Amino acid sequence: MMQRKKNLKYDKISVGDLREKEFHVENQEDFLSIAMGSINTGLPKDIVQQIMKAERIPINNMEARKGKIQDKKALVQQLSSLVEAMRGTLLQNGSARSLRELEVVGNDDIVEISADKNIAEPATYQFEVKQLAQKSSAMTSGFADPDESYIGVGFIQYTLPNGENKEIYIDADNASLKSVAKLINKNDDAGLRASVVNDGSGSDTPWRLILSLKDTGDINKADFPYFYFVDGEQDFYIEFEREAQDAIVALDGFEIELPENKAAELIPGVTIDLKKAKPGEEFTINISEDAGKVGEKINSLIEQINGVLSFIKQQNTMDENTDTSRTLGGDILLQSIESRIRNTIFKDIKVDGRTSRIGNIGIQFTREGLLEFDQEKFKSEMEKDYDHVAEVLTGRYEDGTKTNGFIDNLKETVGQLLQFPNGLLSSRKRSLDNNIETIDRRIAQRENMLQQKEKNLKDKFARLEGTMSRIKAQGAGLGGAPSPMG
């Protein structure tokens, strides 16, 4: 009996010791082992989640730091896109030819004119369209219906411009106007095109077949000698015929014949589409440098430069509430880029043995630190001396060597900023990417460690829970035993 009392005392002390460990812990793992909490331990059920939440604080800090770096990377990428857009415009207009635009003025009712800026030169011409080119064509007699009228069985005979005789046989199954047209058009060797039209006469027989050669001009005359058809509802024959002819134009008073209604070689680099003949009506074709369109290109470039400068200015605008850890404010990167762009804009340009600057053609800095483009002054300078303005912008060739203009200088600066892998922007993006990758590795390592730690804690808790359950069961059993003094 005494032995049973001793065991009971031992058991109560053991339970008490375990309870005390809730409040007197020096080793964290011991604390976690006991503090897993459930019905038997008497601790909160989410104690493990709370402990693991505390363990994740370093990871959360790393995630926050990574977010700030990603914000900076997004800003660097935005700045890179602005500079990249500027480079695209510089490449498109990097030479005198690519920058150049021509204005062509003529008579839009009579001709349509286009000029190749790489070939055409400013000049003025007198022009007259006396006659349009036309192709050989013929119109047949009329029928009441294009689908149902029966023209009979027979053949169409004609001679091509090269002297080749052609015959197209029409059988009873293809004896309507539309069937004849389809039969002709599917034969590429026929040299003809056929179409069925309503002549608009309002007669009982308005439907006719038109036959036309594909090409215009005197050398493309065809001969339509006759049709031969039998058993038709009515006669089928050629009623009207128009011969092919050349176009006739006058350039600076000299008459010129053209085989088609397009003149691509009369004026170097200029294509003239003839729309209407107006004999006796002479008009002027004027080709000149288009200062307005060139100005639009330069204005677009100035806007892109200002886009970069405005971005830098916005980032550098800070107050006591600015979180510089998430912006580029005060960053040496911005200072370097702004300095390089400004130095390029202020750089002297050599033209005709003298020094010039873009300020001389209407490009100036404002008090706000942005560029301003005076299009009227630019246009005036272009009209005064186009070559001089072009050389200020795109440089010139001297003894086989090209000197740099404003666009060349800016293109070099932008190229250095974007150069891979050592340009300012490329280097900064690579540095930020490396920082993000380093943090990602540390987070992954920490996550793996915490996963293993949580697993170990759950295993320990399960064993502790079993132990506590057995102790309580043993205590309950001893408490229900009869008293030795009874």
Q: Tell me the per-residue pLDDT of 301-331, one tens digit each, with 9 for 90 and over.
A: 999 999 999 999 999 988 878 888 888 988 8
Instruction: Give CA separation, 242 vs 136, 172, 239, 278, in Å.
Output: 6, 29, 11, 20
Q: Is residue 443 part of a domain?
A: no
Is there a single domain that holds both residue 397 and residue 414? yes
Is there a single domain that holds both residue 413 and residue 297? yes
Tell which of 182, 217, 245 closes a domain: 245
pLDDT recorded at residue 4: 42
Tell which of 396, 418, 440 closes a domain: 418
- Contacts for 347 with CB less than 8 Å, ≥ 6 apart: 357, 406, 409
Choose among 380, 377, 410: nearest CA to 393: 410
pLDDT recorded at residue 481: 59
Q: Is residue 41 part of a domain?
A: no
- The DSSP secondary-structure symbol of 321 reads T
Is there a single domain that holds both residue 222 and residue 357? no
Cβ neighbourhood burial of 278 (10 Å; 0-12, 13-18, 19+) = middle
The residue type of 65 is R
pLDDT recorded at residue 29: 43
pLDDT recorded at residue 252: 96
Collapsing DSSP to helix, strand or coil, 374 comes out as coil
CA–CA distance, 465 with 34 (Å, rounded to integer): 9
Is there a single domain that holds both residue 342 and residue 386? yes
Q: Is residue 265 part of a domain?
A: yes
Q: Is residue 442 part of a domain?
A: no
pLDDT recorded at residue 463: 76
- Contacts for 41 with CB less than 8 Å, ≥ 6 apart: 34, 35, 464, 465, 468
Is there a single domain that holds both residue 296 and residue 413? yes
Instruction: Give CA separation, 40 vs 49, 456, 460, in Å.
Output: 18, 19, 14
Tell which of 372, 401, 418 closes a domain: 418
Structural domain range at position 116: 102-132+248-289
| Low-confidence residues in the chain, pLDDT < 50 | 1-37, 39
Is there a single domain that holds both residue 213 and residue 112? no
Is there a single domain that holds both residue 267 and residue 369? no
CA–CA distance, 255 with 250 (Å, rounded to integer): 4
Beta bridge partners of residue 143, listed in sequence order: 207
Q: Is residue 38 part of a domain?
A: no
Choose among 418, 411, 426, 413: nearest CA to 89: 411
Number of domains in the chain: 3
Is there a single domain that holds both residue 270 and residue 370? no
Is there a single domain that holds both residue 311 and residue 392? yes
Joined tokens for residue 231 = 């058993």
Is there a single domain that holds both residue 349 and residue 313? yes
Is there a single domain that holds both residue 311 and residue 212? no
Q: Is residue 334 part of a domain?
A: yes
Is there a single domain that holds both residue 146 and residue 220? yes
pLDDT recorded at residue 37: 43
The residue type of 176 is S
Q: Is residue 365 part of a domain?
A: yes
Q: Is residue 303 part of a domain?
A: yes
